[in-house]
Structure 1
Amino acid sequence: MITTLIGPAMRAPKLVLVLVGVAFLVCGALGSQASARLSNGGFVATDSESARVADILGRDYNMSGMQLVLTVESDGGVQGAASTARGRDIDEQLRGDSRVSKVVSPWTDPQLSGLLVSRDKRIGLIVASVRGDENIAPAAAHDLAGAFVGSRDGVTIHAGGQAMVLAETGQQTEKDLAIAEAIALPLTVLLLIWFLRSAVAAAIPFITGIAAIAGTSAVLYLLTFVVELSVFALNITTAIGLALAIDYSLLIIGRYREEIAGGRDRDAALVLAMQRGGRAVAFSGTTVGIALIGMSFFPMAFLRSLAYAGLAVVALSIVLTLTMVPVLLTLLGERINRKPLREARPVQEGFLYRVARTVQRRPVLCALPVLALLVLFGSPIFGLKLGLPDDRVLPSSVQSRQVGDLLRDRFADNATGTVHIVVSPTGGGADPGDLGVYSAVLSTVPEVQAVTGPAGSFAGGQPAGPADPTARHGDSAHLTVSSKVDPYSEQGQRQLDALHAIPKPAGTQVLFGGLAQQTADSTAGIKEGFPKAVVWIAVTTFILLLLLTGSVVLPLKALVLNVLSLSATFGALVWIFQDGHLGGLGTLATGYTIATLPVLLFCVAFGLSMDYEVFLLARFTEEWKRSGRTRADNDDAVALGIARSGRIVTAAALLMAVIFVGIASSGVTMNRMLGVGLALAVLMDATLVRMVLVPAFMRLLGTANWWAPARSRPLLEKAALRE
């Protein structure tokens, strides 16, 4: 297949390049429309308890949509003439807007003043439920807020709430992508020129990478017609596509130059480079794709969408590498080399070869400190706590983040912490009196302000106000639990557990909703899907590496080392971002890690780390199979493989790290954590693991590295993945 792709490149390279150019323009035109079609949410499974409650509230209680919170602040106080006039005016306009299903404010709902007025009485809250899902409500909320925010007549209005957070996260993510590209692309060009010692040679991976960006954006646009696709795919998959296209191009160019240096003519060198290097590219891309498929085992649309998008982008990177690189090599020819490569010094004189031999002479002495360092880095992972993203993922300059800070700092109760409970009859139905008793007991849970429903309003176990006549639909009831705590915090989760523990009325089904329940559902979904994803990735990766190497031992070694380096990466992220060390690298430490991030980082980083492992194992296997297969030959295969592929692996890792640092420049905490995590993972993997632990372990195991059951060898030889 790879040889078939080379034919057109060698016979008609200009025609192929023109076709690729046309495709680039088409992809650019399509991709420019992608951001407008991306989803802002998807962090909670659609069949979760909180999602079911949201559906019931929208269908039966006219409470569909997401929260828009407007703060009305004035020196004259909430009850001053200016605040009252402005607050009533906004309340009236929102109630008359078809995009809003419900509005509460201290000026029209005085019984809620304790919840909606700040402790210093200067700020009042208008809380509106905006109709629509995570794709519709944020845009509507942003449009609604635009008509009110700002200062006028001594009153200042700011907008926040979950709907605004999602809207501004999408806007920030789009801005961050432009900044990331502005950082990564120039540095990538400079590093490519440095690594390849030629501006002409550097143009090949750079052009391929630019084509990957255009192609990725087009892929994202087309995928939005098939699946709900997260706005975070814009940054993540663009970075993956750019990184892989450049890495794979480097591998092909490095192998092409090596064959030229070995005395082959250009055509023969290109064929061999594409056969052997192209095999590693196709195989490596498959392992990355396998890791990304792991995200599809989770119930959240956010992770599933990234799995589909990532898989498509990996396939695109492989296709671009196997088509554009041979075309450009054919057209540019010897111009990619500043000096004849046949004069290159022997590989045994190189730095990486000497490092490998040094490690092989004292494998235990070299490996133990590295293992201890990785274990130390990984130790904070035992303190990992999961939660959902809120406004604190945004920079402090963003409006919805400022509103969130106000709610946490200046209000006795948390307007976003409301827990919604739907009580539905089962069998013969519930005794109406039991609902009042249930509401009263719920109100005794610590940090609960009040419980309001069709049986009345209760606080501290005692009646505190009239019933809500709109809180009944047929035989079912809706209870509103006003809470004083942050729904994303550990305290919020403990309160939710305490509410769940209250015995429900006989003959009823009780479902919980709200942000605290969404956090619990998301965490449960992660815990449910993670074992399946791990088994899928481990088994399929093992099989592929078995087919690549013919060894049972080498795939196991690769899996163990990958898990070790990933654990160290996770531990470092917990220590920095969750616990707040190093100033959280400019982010606000909330005491928990965004629930979907460990999964995303695990799948992406595992795939990219295995990417380098494939490069090395393919070369080790090639050197081993043409040797006498003794213990000394094993050591030679490892040293030569590291020396010949290690420079490309190191260069590729550094280039990937630069691209991921571009993501880390993001103002969105989740993107920053992901960028830092991926940069740490690839650098750790390409240095400590590949340069020290791999040669140390392979030296200790000797010829046992290549062991496979005798009866399976003929089958493995027949099924081996060849050029």
Structure 2
Amino acid sequence: MTGVKGPDGGAGERSGRTGGAAAGRGARDRGAHGGAAAGDGSRAAGAGDGPAPGGAPPGTGGGAARIGGWTRLVTARPRLSLLAALVLTVLAVLAGSGVADRLGSGGWEDPTAESTYATRALEREFPDSQPNLLLLVDAGRGGRVDDPVVAGEARRLASRLAAERGVTGVGSYWRSGAPALRARDGHEALIAARLTGDDTAMGRTLDRITPAYRGAHGPVRVTLGGPVAVRHEMQSIIREDLTRAETIALPITLVLLVMVFGSAVAALLPLGIGIVAILGTNAVLRGLTEFTDVSVFAMNLTTALGLGLAIDYALFIVRRFREELATGAPPQAAIGTTLRTAGRTVLFSSLTVAVSLAAMLVFPQYFLRSFAYAGIAVVLLAAAAALVLLPAALVLLGHRVNSLDLRRLFRRGGKQQPADGEGGTAWARTATLVMRRAPVFALATAAVLVLLGLPFLGVRFGTADDRQLPSTAESHVVQQHIREDFPGSPGGGLEIFARGRATKAQYAAYREHVAALPGVLRIDGPLVRGDAAYFTVLPLGEAVDDTTQRLVGELRSTEAPFTTRVTGTAAVLVDSKHAIGERLPRAAAFITTVTLLLVFLLTGSVLIPLQAVLLNALSLTAMFGAVVWVFQDGHLSGLLGFTSPGSIETTLPVLMFCVAFGLSMDYGVFLLSRIKEEYDRTGDHTAAVRHGLQRTGGLITAAAVILAVVMVAIGMSRVTNTKMLGLGIALAVLMDAMIVRSLLVPAVMRLTGRATWWAPAPLRRFHARFGLSEGEAAPPAGTPSTPLAPRPAAAEPADPTDPVGPADPAERTDGDRDRAGTRG
């Protein structure tokens, strides 16, 4: 077939060749399938040459023409595309250097809360009241902190520290004599100071002064603690752990990809896309730090998402490309069909993940917002790498994508053995079994998931502290000493900032009123400067237990002749819980609404979006139950190597829900799109569900295992919150792929039958115009499709290097009986 040259001097000719190749494929399909796929070739030709006469096919909203144009764009100059990608990757490496040093380790507090206002006011008016660096001075077993020689050395250290640049508000036990600064046994006491500036400046100051103070000084030994030391040590450990996680995850991922594809060439493509996504992730995070605060934890999770999702997307695209090659299609036509089907689904899937992450923007804490900013950028970057770089590489490779078939080394007698993940016979049997006993599987699976989630009913929320660090970390050791050996929980006091003119009698009356409140051990102050004053309240309980949190409310409701604001660890926790609880319904409504809309655009069904949201939420129960049972209650803490603080940091469940829900939708979209494609082709609901699971079950499981490997590598971190994120999300991904997608989804869809695809007439018209589908020309949802002849077994693709075996004839017979029962 000769094309007409277009203005570009050749694009039209290439388009004509593409259309002719695809038309030839359509002729082959007609011979193989008895006319079942006759439209494929003509549609492919139309997509390659431009919009078909009369407009876009129904149900695509013109998407086929747009995808055809996109195919020509990314494959017209494949070498140039790859060269540009190489240049951009090098620039990303340069732009992303040093990103870890610019990330913050806080962000859990609400910046608009009362506690935040009070903290900033105290920093401004009374800098001595907000120490963030503690020097633990140990006189040893043979000495006491009140010995003259020990006291003299401690005062010299405090004087030197006060003279350091970037240090203010130095105080000590030897200056104030405060009992809270002296250990009960008299062998240890504290020097307190405040480092000024942002996290980066404080980190540099700490790096500069630490060598001069840590270690032995005459009769005493000094170790460093306090919030600044904890955050700084946490950043260093996370940076080291991330490098180790990448070193572990990449080779294991390569082995798994070789097992999935057989071909070493095909396996290297997703890994290459993943590496590009990692490097791009670092550049994105570095750019974000110029405009907003970004949590150091975001570096771990977004790097894992960038690698995992890029590999997932590339996995699906390479799989579909090889499947098209196996039918005899030339590479250019195969990549066109791949982008119209798997490529479109990848784009759609990335939007669902981005939507889930975007929900975190409604929360005020920058810990959550930074994950939203970075996560959205990284998800779209991973999709772009899979949809731009990968097609160019596949066009250049062509059939060589199947080269270096390593699985032949394990085949006896050279006999070809289909890969279960690609042939799908076992998945077809699983789908048939599940649908035959749909009520049993639906109820049993749902009951098990609910049971696994029950521990979450006992969740206790707390704040992140030094116990996130390994037990051997210096700042953790110092803070643990203070908790156990010093009176009155000096790190867990509540502070009251007062503004307004008052007499000494009024201050004294307020102090007496506060001292009489239940839960108050002691109140110190006031320290007055102008019209500002502050009091320190030491609670009877622990820093953030229920008694101390109730005390925060009582202090805030206590009447005074001046304006008061309460801060402290417990006050920050109370305000954080309030901010999350107040905005959580908005985040849930956003995720639910947009997810329902996106899944409707994919399927044209009213019921499927509802099923997707409910089943996805149900798939997360095991993750939340495990988080409480392991990390709050401390089970397996010895095996996993962490110290349980007895609570869960308030923002973590929100973060884990948004990430895990998005990943669950990611796999749900891949399964639903293939089911929809088959249902549009045959009009047979039961067969479509079985075919969708047959074609995607193994691939979804492989993708989930690969992503779980990446998340487990992240979960090997020595920081407890990072460990919780990595292991929790890995569990959620595996439960979703192996339990929910394999058992619960087919069982529920079998129970709902053909009603699954129903939609009212106005919505059918809306979907016909704007909907998306992995199929080529999907009829409006709810419109009975013309059932086409089932594909004969011989028509299943059977490429020697990429076997896709037919479903077991016995299972096809069972499916026919199921279809007959459905119609009856």
TM-score interval, normalised by the smaller of the two chains: over 0.9
Say which of 247, 254, 259 aligns to 2:312: 247
Say which of 506, 514, 519 aligns to 1:434: 506
Query: Which position in structure 2 is the counterpart of 1:462?
Result: none
Distance 2:218 2:389 in 1: 62
Query: Which position in structure 2 is the counterpart of 1:236?
Result: 301
Aligned Cα root-mean-square deviation (Å): 2.1
Distance 1:581 1:177 in 2: 25
CA contact (8 A) 2:127 2:194 kept: no
Say which of 409, 412, 416 aligns to 2:491: 416
Does residue 509 (structure 1) correspond to residue 563 (structure 2)? The answer is: yes
Letter in 2 for 1:616: L
Matches for 1:47-446 after TM superposition, within 5 Å: 47-63=112-128, 66-75=131-140, 76-110=143-177, 112=178, 114-337=179-402, 350-425=425-500, 430=502, 432-446=504-518
Letter in 1 for 2:625: G
Deviation at 1:669, TM superposition (A): 0.5
Say which of 619, 622, 646 aligns to 2:677: 622
Distance 1:220 1:146, change over 3 A: same
Distance 2:370 2:119 in 1: 22
Say which of 519, 526, 538 aligns to 1:482: 538
CA contact (8 A) 2:128 2:193 kept: no
More displaced stretch, 168-177 vs 444-453? 444-453
CA contact (8 A) 2:603 2:773 kept: no
SS at match of 1:108: helix
CA contact (8 A) 1:374 1:565 kept: yes
Deviation at 1:35, TM superposition (A): 1.2
Deviation at 1:345, TM superposition (A): 9.1
More displaced stretch, 333-342 vs 288-297? 333-342
Distance 1:64 1:196 in 2: 62
Distance 1:189 1:83 in 2: 59
SS at match of 1:229: coil
Distance 1:345 1:448, change over 3 A: closer
CA contact (8 A) 1:41 1:135 kept: no
Say which of 75, 81, 85 aligns to 1:10: 75
Query: Which position in structure 2 is the counterpart of 1:604?
Result: 659
Distance 2:746 2:327 in 1: 25
Distance 1:648 1:619 in 2: 12
CA contact (8 A) 1:9 1:330 kept: no
Letter in 2 for 1:476: A
Distance 1:4 1:135 in 2: 47
Does residue 692 (structure 1) correspond to residue 743 (structure 2)? The answer is: yes
Query: Which position in structure 2 is the counterpart of 1:568?
Result: 622
Distance 1:480 1:320 in 2: 55
CA contact (8 A) 1:243 1:655 kept: yes
SS at match of 2:620: helix
CA contact (8 A) 1:188 1:658 kept: yes
CA contact (8 A) 1:261 1:344 kept: no
Deviation at 1:27, TM superposition (A): 0.5
CA contact (8 A) 1:65 1:131 kept: no
Distance 1:349 1:655 in 2: 19
Query: Which position in structure 1 is the counterpart of 2:35?
Result: none
Letter in 2 for 1:636: A
Distance 2:175 2:519 in 1: 25
Distance 1:488 1:138 in 2: 27
SS at match of 2:522: strand
SS at match of 1:590: coil
Letter in 2 for 1:438: Y
Matches for 1:460-475 after TM superposition, within 5 Å: 471-475=527-531
SS at match of 1:225: coil
SS at match of 2:292: coil
Distance 1:476 1:345, change over 3 A: closer
Distance 2:481 2:361 in 1: 37
CA contact (8 A) 2:277 2:381 kept: yes
CA contact (8 A) 1:261 1:342 kept: no
State the aligned residue count.
696
Query: Which position in structure 2 is the counterpart of 1:717?
Result: 768
CA contact (8 A) 1:381 1:571 kept: yes
CA contact (8 A) 1:388 1:522 kept: no
CA contact (8 A) 1:53 1:512 kept: yes
Query: Which position in structure 2 is the counterpart of 1:459?
Result: none
Sequence identity (%)? 40
Distance 1:27 1:348, change over 3 A: closer
CA contact (8 A) 2:424 2:697 kept: no
CA contact (8 A) 1:348 1:354 kept: no
Distance 1:578 1:9, change over 3 A: same
Query: Which position in structure 2 is the counterpart of 1:30?
Result: 95
Distance 1:596 1:568, change over 3 A: same
Distance 2:761 2:531 in 1: 70
Distance 1:439 1:138 in 2: 37
Deviation at 1:140, TM superposition (A): 2.8
Distance 2:152 2:77 in 1: 74
SS at match of 1:147: helix
Deviation sequence 1:251-310 (CA, Å, 0-9, x none)? 001111221223322221111011111110000000000000011110101111110111
Letter in 1 for 2:596: F
TM-score, normalization by structure 2 = 0.81
Deviation at 1:188, TM superposition (A): 0.5
Say which of 628, 634, 647 aligns to 1:592: 647
Distance 1:358 1:505 in 2: 71
SS at match of 1:221: helix
Query: Which position in structure 1 is the counterpart of 2:821?
Result: none
SS at match of 2:296: coil
Deviation at 1:484, TM superposition (A): 5.4
Deviation at 1:216, TM superposition (A): 0.5
Query: Which position in structure 2 is the counterpart of 1:460?
Result: none
CA contact (8 A) 2:270 2:315 kept: yes
Letter in 1 for 2:525: G
TM-score, normalization by structure 1 = 0.93
CA contact (8 A) 2:233 2:475 kept: yes
Distance 1:485 1:142 in 2: 34
CA contact (8 A) 1:42 1:134 kept: no
Deviation sequence 1:294-331 (CA, Å, 0-9, x none)? 11110101111110111111111111001111122122
CA contact (8 A) 1:65 1:137 kept: no
Deviation sequence 1:165-208 (CA, Å, 0-9, x none)? 11111111111101111111110011011111111111100100
Say which of 561, 569, 572 aligns to 1:518: 572
Does residue 648 (structure 1) correspond to residue 699 (structure 2)? The answer is: yes
SS at match of 2:173: coil
CA contact (8 A) 2:514 2:555 kept: yes
More displaced stretch, 229-238 vs 687-696? 229-238
Distance 1:349 1:187, change over 3 A: closer
More displaced stretch, 204-213 vs 406-415? 406-415
CA contact (8 A) 2:519 2:547 kept: no
Letter in 2 for 1:22: V
Distance 1:81 1:345 in 2: 78
Deviation at 1:446, TM superposition (A): 5.0
Distance 2:201 2:570 in 1: 22
